[in-house]
Amino acid sequence: MENGMRTKYIEFTSEDSPEFIEAAMALREGRLVAFPTETVYGLGANALDSNAVRAIYDAKGRPADNPLIVHIADLEMLKPLVTEIKPDALKLISAYWPGPLTIILKKSGIVPEITTGGLDTVAVRMPDNFIALELIKKAGVPVAAPSANRSGKPSPTMAKHVLEDLDGRISYIIDGGPCKVGVESTVVDMTVDPAIILRPGGITPEMIERVIGRVELDKSILGKKAVDRPRAPGMKYRHYAPRAEVYVVSGSSEDIAAWLRSAVSEDEKSGKKSVILAAKEHIQEYGLEHAVSYGSINNASEIASNIFRLFRECDRMGTEKIYVEAIPREGIGLAVMNRIEKAAGGRIIHAGK
């Protein structure tokens, strides 16, 4: 583990800058480098170097059975990693790479078991971020990269979030500004028929079905089964969580508002600091002293880009309870609700029932 070392913070200026090339070479040689993608910041290591990958688990405090996603810069990098690329997988690659879509395929022998959490499959994606792609190209190796945070905490959408969690534990942080999407990639298992979405993200089920036809949602996404052995990141463990207790509140607008006003009033009486994360259209229901807007109820993409940052801001304010208004599970809203419910760890309130 690289604990106790000096972390070098680089503000990205050019793919040809000496510092950027230095970080790429460090990545190639087995050291840890955090970098931006379009989804969240990733913590990268040479995916083919078992010791380097082990350092990711150590730096994050990540359970060893939680598989990693391998990031590539071009299709030539994909071929040695897998035994087969089925026609439907090629269709998705053509439609959505580079982009926030991770595809699970049968792994080849060159991919270490530690990278895949002991599975015989490997999760691969090509990020839609110039800095990430240039870093991988210059390193010349596929890059295993989970989110660049301590395990279980909200994913980092800005470089300063990485610094908060991993300063002194990794070699480099490359600051490329805020991430566009704000939630991790969609993960789709292409080793089964029909394909199964194991984690929702920026590429929605509807978008996938337009390309390959019917796709199923894993029952864990719908809250209908527990996961014993995770086949993709984010399936088994409590994730994305701030220090505060998170509660998801669903129901009609009127029932949600009534329940939340009552809950915050009770918190005030007991001396607990609580915050409501709500749609900007509903903020007036609660008063500015209690509520923060996560974006428009009609724009799930805006909420996706804000939610992890707001969780971290609540922690900095010393918030003890966070109440989150549920949003429709449509489009990327499915991914947003998946992350919020993971953060809540089962604290789901159905107001009015």
Flag whether the pTM goes above 0.85: yes
The whole-number pLDDT of residue 19 equals: 98
d(CA 130, CA 282): 37
Where does the pLDDT of residue 235 fall: very low under 50, low under 70, confident under 90, or very high at 90 and above? low
The whole-number pLDDT of residue 138 equals: 98
Where does the pLDDT of residue 4 fall: very low under 50, low under 70, confident under 90, or very high at 90 and above? low
DSSP state of 144: E
The whole-number pLDDT of residue 226 equals: 52
Where does the pLDDT of residue 2 fall: very low under 50, low under 70, confident under 90, or very high at 90 and above? very low
Q: In what order do the strands lie in the sheet with 121-125?
A: 8-11, 172-175, 33-35, 42-46, 143-144, 69-71, 121-125, 101-106, 186-189, 196-199, 216-217
pLDDT in tens, 295-333: 999 999 999 999 999 999 999 999 999 999 999 999 999
Distance of alpha carbon 47 from the chain centroid:
18
The encoded tokens of residue 108 equal 């080849």
The whole-number pLDDT of residue 5 equals: 83
pLDDT in tens, 69-119: 999 999 999 999 999 999 999 999 999 999 999 999 999 999 999 999 999
Decide if pLDDT at 225 tops 70. no
12, 21 contact by CB (below 8 A): no
pLDDT in tens, 17-67: 999 999 999 999 999 999 999 999 999 999 999 999 999 999 999 887 789
The whole-number pLDDT of residue 234 equals: 57
The whole-number pLDDT of residue 238 equals: 59
d(CA 346, CA 31): 36
Decide if pLDDT at 1 tops 50. no
d(CA 190, CA 194): 8
The whole-number pLDDT of residue 240 equals: 80
pLDDT in tens, 142-173: 999 999 999 889 999 999 999 999 999 999 99
d(CA 197, CA 232): 10
Decide if pLDDT at 196 tops 90. yes
Angle between helices 130-139 and 18-28 (to 10 degrees): 60
Decide if pLDDT at 291 tops 80. yes
- Contacts of 313-316 with C-beta under 8 Å, sequence gap 24+, read 314/242, 314/244, 314/275, 314/277, 315/242, 315/243, 315/244
Decide if pLDDT at 337 tops 60. yes
Residues 6+ apart with CB under 8 A from 206: 331
Supply the mean pLDDT for the chain.
Answer: 93
What average pLDDT score do residues 175-203 get? 97
